[in-house]
Structure 1
Amino acid sequence: MEAQSVYILREAYREFSRLCMLWSIGKDSTVLLWLTRKAFFGEVPFPLVHIDTSFKIPEMIAYRDRLVRDWKLNLIYGENRAALDARRTFPAGALSRIACCKALKTDALVNTLSGAWPRYRFDHEQDRYVEDANTEPYTGVIVGARADEEGSRSKERYFSPRDHHSDWDIGDQPPELWNQFKTDFAPGTHVRIHPLLDWTELNIWEYIAAERIPVVPLYFDQGDGTRYRSLGCYPCTTPVESTASTVNDIVEELRTGKFSHVAERAGREQDKEGDGTLETLRREGYM
Structure 2
Amino acid sequence: MNKWIQWMSSILGVMILGCQTSAMAQDTYPSRPITLINPWAAGSSTDIMARAVADQIYKQLGQSVVVVSRDGGSGVIGMTVLMQAPADGLTLAFTPMTPVTIQPHHLKDLKLSPETIQPVCGITENILGLSVRADSPFKTIADLIATGKTKSLSYGSPGPNSAPFLAVDDLARHQKLDLVHIPFKGDAASIQELLAGRLDFATSIAASTAAQVKAGNVRLLAVASERRHPGFADVPTLKELGIDVTQLSFAGLFAPRGTPPQILTKLDAACSVAVKSDPVKEAALKSNQILAYQSMPQWEQRVRDEFQKQGAAFRAAGGVRP
Q: Which has the higher contact order (CA 8 A, sep 6+)?
A: 2
TM-score by length of structure 1 reads 0.25
Between Structure 1 and Structure 2, the one with more helix by share is: 2
Between Structure 1 and Structure 2, the one with more strand by share is: 2
